[in-house]
Amino acid sequence: MTTPPPGLRERKKRATREALRGAALRLALERGPDEVRVEDIAEAAGVSPRTYNNYFASREQAIVSAVTADREERIAAAVAARPAGVRLADAVTEAVVEQYTHTGEGGHGALLLITTRTALRDAFLAATAGIELPLGAVIAERLGHAGEHTARVLAASVAAAVRIALDDWLRPAGYEGATGSPGTGGLVVPSGPLPDRLRAALLPLAPAFDAAERPVQA
């Protein structure tokens, strides 16, 4: 299925979103997230605070969006690009690992920033819910019309598994630091390789993906 190119209005909306999240991250890195107001982000992006509120519900959401940067659509696109002969469970796992371990330019500094603020960590974890709709559409296309409900369940399960993996990675069990516990703020040291945690979290879903791919018996 070929997706038509976005129209002028959609391109303008994307440009505004990119400008806002870019400004949010830049200001947060320069000043610290606690010193950044929504009005500051809007001004830096050349829009009004009202326009800002049409795109993001908080400054944390905008900052995190600069890190995730449409990751949910890229995961879905990566799954769709896999050859039909590739096992669906493998296609989804590889797409998730690939997109979550590619931080891009400036990504490491942004992730470090996220680990220092509880509100940013929570927004980062909440962003995984965005995986569900685009991935569900791709899975439904792969399974056929009869798999639409199953596709939604599988995509929601993937989003939940990714969130759990990230939560474990950013909030190591038993971590005690001089600046406080992970739940109250302060620096959280990511625990273990993220790809390993993502693969481990997604592994229990493999039988469900395999069952969904099997031909329906008459």
pTM: 0.81
Give the DSSP letter of residue 215. P
Predicted confidence (pLDDT) per residue in 62-93, tens digit:
999 988 888 999 999 999 999 988 999 999 99
User: Mean per-residue pLDDT for 115-120?
Assistant: 86
pLDDT computed for residue 216 by the predictor: 56
- Confirm if 157 and 151 have CB atoms less than 8 A apart: no
The H or E element containing residue 194 is: helix 194-202
Between 29 and 178, the higher pLDDT residue: 29
